[in-house]
Amino acid sequence: LGCPLGHGGFGEVFRAVDRTATPPLYVAAKRSRRAADMEMLRKEARALDLVAGHPFIIELLDFIETPGGQTFLFLEFCGGGDLFDRAFVETAPDKRLSERAARPIVRRIAEALRHCLSRGVSHRDLKFENVMLSAEDPTALKLIDFGYACEAPAPPAPATQYDGVGTYQYMAPELWTATAGYRAPPVDCWAYGVLVFTSLSGFAPWGEAYATDSTFVRFEQSVASGAGACDALYGMYDLRCPFSPPACDFIDGLLTIDANARATVTQCLDHPWL
Q: Point out the annotated binding site for ATP.
A: 30
Identify any residues that bridge with 182 across adjacent strands, giving them in sequence order.
161
Question: Could you tell me the sign of the dihedral formed by the alpha carbons of 93, 233, 215, 126, in that order?
Answer: negative
Rounded to whole angstroms, the Cα distance separating 243 from 246 reads 8
Helix, strand, coil in percent for the chain, rounding step 5 = 40, 15, 45
Rounded to whole angstroms, the Cα distance separating 138 from 110 reads 17
Annotated binding site: 30
Rounded to whole angstroms, the Cα distance separating 199 from 185 reads 21
Rounded to whole angstroms, the Cα distance separating 218 from 222 reads 6
Rounded to whole angstroms, the Cα distance separating 180 from 84 reads 33
Nearest alpha carbon to residue 52 among 115, 124, 113, 109:
115
